[in-house]
Amino acid sequence: MKKVILFAVILLLVFGISSLVLSADENWPTKPIRLILGSGAGGSTDMSTRLLASILEKELGQPIICENKSGGTGTVAASIAATQEPDGYHLFTLQTGPAFLAAHTQDIPFDPLKDFTFISRYAVWQYGLVVQADSPWNTFQDFLKFAKENPGEISYGLSGTGSPQHLVMERLGLLEEIEWKAIPFKGSAESIPALMGGHVNAEAGVAKWAPQVLSGDLRLLVAFGAERMKEFPEVPTLKELGYDIVAPSLLSIAGPAGIPEDIVERLDQAIKKAVEDPEFIKLIDRLRMRVAYLDHEEFAEHVKKAYKEQGEIIKKAGLAKEE
């Protein structure tokens, strides 16, 4: 009898607690979810997120309305999202800039560590350093050696001061005491032709150079990611070459701070499933990004760590905003 009563009490407790927790919004989602995209229509970020959203729709049973709010490489989207209702119906794509970098270099109306609920990271960009295929540098070491021996001679194109690829190059420069000239372009669509035309000696950027590397016009010297690229398995990463440097990169779903735990949990589960969808993996491969899922806890940890790390690098590189 005692056992039965004990069992009944436990049963009651379990149900009671779980119903308390679920009462936040038991049936979420009951209406369409709005997802703010931090980039313009038609770009790689836009395309990958829209496909992710369409898979999530099936998973969650509610339409997801994607809205493009481009500006400041995702900063505009993040600052809008920071002020929205944390009800699980307002989400956005949190990207590298607003999560790790912008707060150190610019005055922005949000604090990436306090103002967001982190849901999941689903992909990262792949970065690397490329040179002309007929240049004398066959390996990254060749290139470094030349740059060291000829201070101020090497110029490299990139898109944007303070971008992940710029921070990687600045760190390398500080470590190896190299003077090279960073030439910021409006995007890889301008920095890659500048390299092909020989106006700069190298280009540091996202894998938009892959077609030219495949066609034999350019040579990839080193990858800035945590792993070698699928398409260029013979090219080493900086880590393998003995530098503890990985380009910060982030494509993720987040929301305003304070989204109830169980909604986060459910969203995270749905995204986890979605990133395993073969259609999604195929698209990410073709866009030359890498699927890199992190659950909400790992993701929150990752942001904290990377935010601090990048802040220090930005300060050292002399790119921090004036306090």
Residue 314 is a binding residue for other proteins (CB under 8 A): no
- Residue 22's alpha-carbon distances to 19, 100, 251, 261, 300, in angstroms, are 5, 33, 29, 9, 23
With CB under 8 A as the contact rule, the residue among 61, 136, 197, 242 that binds other proteins is 197
C-alpha–C-alpha distance, residues 142 and 148, integer Å: 10
C-alpha–C-alpha distance, residues 236 and 238, integer Å: 7
Residue 95 is a binding residue for other proteins (CB under 8 A): no
C-alpha–C-alpha distance, residues 102 and 109, integer Å: 11
Enumerate residues 9-38 that contact other proteins by CB under 8 A: none
The 53-92 site mask, x for binding other proteins (CB under 8 A), equals --------------xxxxxx--xx--x-------------
| CA 86 distance to own-chain centroid | 22
C-alpha–C-alpha distance, residues 5 and 129, integer Å: 68
C-alpha–C-alpha distance, residues 72 and 166, integer Å: 16
Q: How many residues bind other proteins (CB under 8 A)?
A: 54
Binding span for other proteins by CB under 8 A among 13-21, 136-144, 182-190, 307-315: 182-190
Enumerate residues 142-161 that contact other proteins by CB under 8 A: 152, 155, 160-161
With CB under 8 A as the contact rule, the residue among 43, 63, 173, 236 that binds other proteins is 43
C-alpha–C-alpha distance, residues 32 and 65, integer Å: 7
Beta carbon of residue 306, minimum distance to other proteins (angstroms, whole number): 19
Residue 280 is a binding residue for other proteins (CB under 8 A): no
Residue 107 is a binding residue for other proteins (CB under 8 A): yes
- Our CA dihedral for 210, 211, 212, 218, rounded to 10 degrees, sits at 30
| CA 194 distance to own-chain centroid | 26
Structure-token match 């703010």, residue found: 36
Residue 317 is a binding residue for other proteins (CB under 8 A): no
With CB under 8 A as the contact rule, the residue among 123, 178, 210, 235 that binds other proteins is 210
Indicate the residue among 6 and 214 with the shorter CB distance to other proteins: 214
User: Residue 232 in contact with residue 225, Cβ under 8 Å?
Assistant: no
Residue 316 is a binding residue for other proteins (CB under 8 A): no
Residue 106 is a binding residue for other proteins (CB under 8 A): yes
Which residues of the shown chain bind other proteins in the complex (CB under 8 A)? 40-44, 46-47, 50, 67-72, 75-76, 79, 105-109, 152, 155, 160-162, 181, 183-187, 189-190, 192-194, 196-200, 210-212, 214-215, 217, 283, 286-288, 321
